Structure 1
């Protein structure tokens, strides 16, 4: 909460947050007021075809994303983003002022044209919306900033939808006056907030070219040439496909299954929006300032399971249910809970993907990658409309089957993401489980390098050390492990997924030690992080054992930075040798306090095993001042290189 308040008070983030949130609120007030006016006023009075007008309105809103997103990406790359935001807020004010006048004059055709202008403003604002964040917030705050932007957007959508319904319910000229005043006042508020946004200089220099279609093709081609970015963009677009399908069919679900009225639709939409906001906050909490792509498949699994459950709900009665009757039905609350979980799964799923695109994109390409994302989102939303029209309109399947099909798509997405992000998913799962079992406090996590090879060394207290370290590290860790355990028929899949390095004893496999050290060397050369317990064995009395010479041998082969670490609080646990034999009896401690501290990286050119042991001991003293860190001499003497390799493998 302190970090949240710090971010929301920050001049670098708070003005931008309110700028985009007020804009999203205004867009949705206008869009929903327009749909209500066209459906309930223009169609009866002017004899318009309701289906044609609704589809035309949808097309007028989506078309600008296909035409102008690429140009918006170029503008955001070639212009100061603060100045661009201010200019777009002026465009919003002009559009909403015209909309207020058109509502007062009942100029419905003009309102449809202004819907296109609103879509244009949104299409141009989209790229700068996400491209500006990496320039204003630190990388450790990026996930949290994205979470707040996404939560603010969906809450603005919800409040805008509710606000439009409330304003329209007033009826007559009073409603028209209040709607126009709301649109203009909120636009002025957004413009005022934009003036406080700090400068964000252009990433590129050059001349802009007006090439709508060619520009769209170019940004998509550029994204295609970056496979990791393009996969993330497709993943984001899948979310918008599913979200559009849910939100489009919820009114029909309300009429045919819930047998409710407009208030029930609002509650269902509110549950979905609240779920997305909740999922965004959970994502920020679990991420702890780092990118956690392992949350993507987990979020998709939550979305799939909650979607399957939502699709199984039976109809609530035969007649029209009032809101009083619905809130008395447990099954209706169950539906709301399912939609909250669906939204929460979506929040967990989409925030890391947006952050991944921002991190992987260079400063000069970031806005265009977001523009490519907007184009793909628009295409997938059009595809969602076609998907719903074919399945429900042409094939005439039931709504239950339709929502079940969305869950199948979510499940397939989850499985694909789980295969692509197996190790990150396992790491975040371990992180959650470790935090559930222990009251884990982590210090100095920023000392693990964001990129490049490194070695982490730590004292060895219990059999849980590797899980605690692996779950706490922002990057996947490679561990050495005994080969017979690695080849366990029940757990081998888990160890393979974790990237463990098997090592056999010298007696059983004479070449096994060297092979293991070669795997360590290969991992370091590939830029990975390797975790070592240089003591070579668990402590038997709570004190550190003497570090073995293996760490010197590894660093001699691959001189990489070394990060010292220390664990405290696991001595005396069920998985330690506190009672002589670990895993004996029933665990006696739950939610024990455990502290893990990382020290500053040490240059491999100057480090020795003695200096590393002193660093680890000092860290351990800082988190557990009452513990004795005097090293225990090991009876094993390393007399040659082969012995050193054996101890390093251990």
Structure 2
């Protein structure tokens, strides 16, 4: 049964045990990893050695993702994912048994080897972790489910960081660390037994290629052949490059720049994790349960600004070690915590929509392999991030200067990615319009088909009608619009990016008209949504005008369902003609003005009648113009 909000998923067996499996896995990773990093940070090493060992540890944990992800993706597509999870969780118990021995005998070299094996464990888990969700959750639950997973992951990171740091600093650390990592591994295995088995296997006939390099090359080529998927993977990978540089350096930033003790480190990680959790959870509400890629540019802009600000936030601290009280007695301490909190918020807003987009746009039979391709590139980017950090620090840059450099790098890279895939920026502009300029009350959004071709019709009140409709719908809509409106400078970018189709009358330009009908037919043949304003032009008096017959011609060529809708509240806006030409009169609506979008059930093509469509649209709009 579909849930109404993400927290109801905790009542469902199809989600709850999976959530705890990934939670305990992330918790154990971070207890172990942070215990090791704390040994390095507070051990008898000089600053250069600490920085080298810290980045070496990050490299060893990430390297298995590059080596084993392609194989893991094949296994997850060929066999039942629940069974694979149980095998992985059992192996985790064995790895943690070896880690216990290494802690007891204080074998730092062996701990680094075990860190590699924990990375290998996580590499095999990652494709299953993300590809299993679409099999258990409804499409409208994916944003909320992924938000909870990301929240749980970073709560686990927070707890793992606290436990890893504190337990390793206790005098009898070997006992408590051993109990913590073994108990967590056992709990992860026990909860994996509760995960329900899927009824189907994604690709049971898949032939396993055990040679890692050729298979890795294959999944990368396969991902690269699908433009949107590949650019989505690049966006996620860059996020991990960017985040890896920041988070990995926090330990040495605290030790060498702030001179903070373990409690200060725990406080910073806690604030960062809380921010990521809140940002991830807010995605469902901000996106209205849909895949809203418009949140991605919002997140990336915020990450850039926050990182640049963080590079100047450290101030001057005394050379002696400081505690939390001293840290918070300076404005710089609060400044750093605020930056880390919002870094987390924007990170959640950036990453969750990208993961949902990757899950929803990949085919079931190869979803795990595409997620494996994502893991490979994530690993590659994070390895390069470690080398990048080592190189810049070796050249003499301080950690705050490294933050500044990576902040400007994030600005340049994200601008380039959005140039390659401008749909992200278009959705961002549309999202800002209906969330910041207007407050939109949407009724009947479930009437828009989840897949397949259909024609969306709407009354035409203002120049932003298509943007409001596109931003409210989770599927891309290609609107057919007057070629003069299509050319308006401030809106042309949005219309072009959204794939809108300019049209002219027979008298104005017959070539543009015929080309528009040809493009509409091609789009419907591909199963896309076409948006039409049957009135043909903006209303000049607020009333719904006569509907033109072009829609009938389209339906004769492509008999598809017609979904009527109506916008409300835009008559009299800056973009309407109530007070003269649109966008050339003084605005009489202000920020957060309330508007509406009413959507009713699709009309089957065999029941379509143009006059009846006008009556339906009139009734949908009602008296609210």
TM-score by length of 1: 0.84
Where 2:365 maps in the other structure, the secondary structure is: coil
Query: 2:5 is matched with which residue?
Result: 3
Where 1:602 maps in the other structure, the secondary structure is: coil
Where 1:365 maps in the other structure, the secondary structure is: helix
Residue in structure 2 matching 1:27, options 26, 29, 53: 29
The one of the two structures with greater contact order (alpha-carbon pairs below 8 A, sep at least 6) is 2
Q: Is the 8 A contact 2:434 2:468 kept in 1?
A: yes
Query: 1:177 is matched with which residue?
Result: 175
Q: Which moved more, 1:571-580 or 1:547-556?
A: 571-580
1:350-400 Cα shifts (integer Å, max 9, x gaps): 22322232233322222222222222222222211111111111x212334
Q: Is the 8 A contact 1:458 1:566 kept in 2?
A: yes
Q: Distance in 2 between matches of 1:98 and 1:143?
A: 38
1:496-550 Cα shifts (integer Å, max 9, x gaps): 3444444556665576555554554555456543322323455677664443333
**Deviation, structure 1 residue 183:** 2.0
Q: Which moved more, 1:71-80 or 1:541-550?
A: 541-550
Query: 1:642 is matched with which residue?
Result: none
**Deviation, structure 1 residue 222:** 3.4
Q: Distance in 2 between matches of 1:610 and 1:107?
A: 81
Q: Which moved more, 1:532-541 or 1:259-268?
A: 532-541
Q: Distance in 1 between matches of 2:219 and 2:478?
A: 37
Q: Distance in 1 between matches of 2:591 and 2:41?
A: 59
Cα gap change, 1:504 to 1:215, in 2 (>3 Å): closer
**Deviation, structure 1 residue 246:** 0.8
**What is the correspondence of 1:330-345 to structure 2 with a 5 Å cutoff?**
330-345=331-346
**Deviation, structure 1 residue 160:** 0.3
Q: Distance in 1 between matches of 2:564 and 2:401?
A: 55
Cα gap change, 1:503 to 1:58, in 2 (>3 Å): closer
Q: Which moved more, 1:517-526 or 1:242-251?
A: 517-526
1:187-232 Cα shifts (integer Å, max 9, x gaps): 2322232122111243233564543444434433433444433332
Q: Is the 8 A contact 1:566 1:619 kept in 2?
A: yes
**Deviation, structure 1 residue 317:** 3.6
**What is the correspondence of 1:534-553 to structure 2 with a 5 Å cutoff?**
534-536=534-536, 544-553=544-553
**What is the correspondence of 1:542-621 to structure 2 with a 5 Å cutoff?**
544-570=544-570, 587=588, 591-617=592-618, 619-620=620-621
Where 1:548 maps in the other structure, the secondary structure is: coil
Q: Is the 8 A contact 1:259 1:315 kept in 2?
A: no
Query: 1:383 is matched with which residue?
Result: 384
**Deviation, structure 1 residue 105:** 5.1
Query: 1:640 is matched with which residue?
Result: none
**Deviation, structure 1 residue 26:** 1.3
Q: Which moved more, 1:88-97 or 1:503-512?
A: 503-512
Q: Distance in 2 between matches of 1:192 and 1:608?
A: 60
Cα gap change, 1:31 to 1:445, in 2 (>3 Å): same
Q: Is the 8 A contact 1:237 1:376 kept in 2?
A: yes
1:30-61 Cα shifts (integer Å, max 9, x gaps): 222234346657x69xxxx8677656644543
Q: Is the 8 A contact 1:574 1:589 kept in 2?
A: no
Where 1:475 maps in the other structure, the secondary structure is: coil
1:288-322 Cα shifts (integer Å, max 9, x gaps): 23222333333222222222222233532443444
Query: 1:157 is matched with which residue?
Result: 157
Where 1:186 maps in the other structure, the secondary structure is: helix
Q: Distance in 2 between matches of 1:407 and 1:398?
A: 14
Matched pairs, number: 616
Cα gap change, 1:454 to 1:109, in 2 (>3 Å): same
Q: Is the 8 A contact 1:479 1:532 kept in 2?
A: yes
Cα gap change, 1:259 to 1:482, in 2 (>3 Å): same
Q: Is the 8 A contact 2:572 2:588 kept in 1?
A: no
Where 1:202 maps in the other structure, the secondary structure is: coil
Where 1:597 maps in the other structure, the secondary structure is: strand
Query: 1:407 is matched with which residue?
Result: 407
1:95-118 Cα shifts (integer Å, max 9, x gaps): 324433543454555544433332
**Deviation, structure 1 residue 159:** 1.5
Q: Which moved more, 1:405-414 or 1:103-112?
A: 103-112
Q: Distance in 2 between matches of 1:513 and 1:57?
A: 62
**Deviation, structure 1 residue 471:** 2.0
**What is the correspondence of 1:432-451 to structure 2 with a 5 Å cutoff?**
432-451=432-451
**Deviation, structure 1 residue 119:** 2.3
Cα gap change, 1:510 to 1:34, in 2 (>3 Å): closer
Q: Which moved more, 1:578-587 or 1:407-416?
A: 578-587
Cα gap change, 1:458 to 1:213, in 2 (>3 Å): closer
Cα gap change, 1:326 to 1:582, in 2 (>3 Å): same
User: Over the residues paired in the alignment, what is the CA RMSD in angstroms?
Assistant: 3.3
Q: Distance in 2 between matches of 1:53 and 1:211?
A: 31
1:459-511 Cα shifts (integer Å, max 9, x gaps): 34455533322321223333444444444455544543444444556665576
Where 1:335 maps in the other structure, the secondary structure is: helix
Q: Distance in 2 between matches of 1:248 and 1:367?
A: 28
Q: Is the 8 A contact 1:445 1:474 kept in 2?
A: no
Cα gap change, 1:596 to 1:492, in 2 (>3 Å): closer
* Structure whose alpha-carbon radius of gyration is higher: 1
Q: Is the 8 A contact 1:297 1:415 kept in 2?
A: no
**Deviation, structure 1 residue 24:** 0.5
Q: Structure 2: any 5+ residue segments left out of the alignment?
A: none
**Deviation, structure 1 residue 130:** 0.9
Query: 1:639 is matched with which residue?
Result: none
Q: Distance in 2 between matches of 1:113 and 1:251?
A: 21
Residue 324, structure 1, aligned to residue 325, structure 2: yes
Q: Distance in 1 between matches of 2:491 and 2:593?
A: 26
Q: Is the 8 A contact 2:572 2:589 kept in 1?
A: no
Q: Distance in 2 between matches of 1:363 and 1:452?
A: 17
**Deviation, structure 1 residue 415:** 1.0
Residue in structure 2 matching 1:197, options 195, 198, 216: 195
Q: Distance in 2 between matches of 1:66 and 1:76?
A: 16
Q: Distance in 1 between matches of 2:281 and 2:460?
A: 34
1:592-646 Cα shifts (integer Å, max 9, x gaps): 54332322333324312123234434544xxx5xx499xxxxxxxxxxxxxxxxx
Query: 1:84 is matched with which residue?
Result: 84
Query: 2:185 is matched with which residue?
Result: 187
Q: Which moved more, 1:271-280 or 1:491-500?
A: 491-500
Q: Distance in 2 between matches of 1:182 and 1:400?
A: 34
Q: Distance in 1 between matches of 2:557 and 2:189?
A: 59
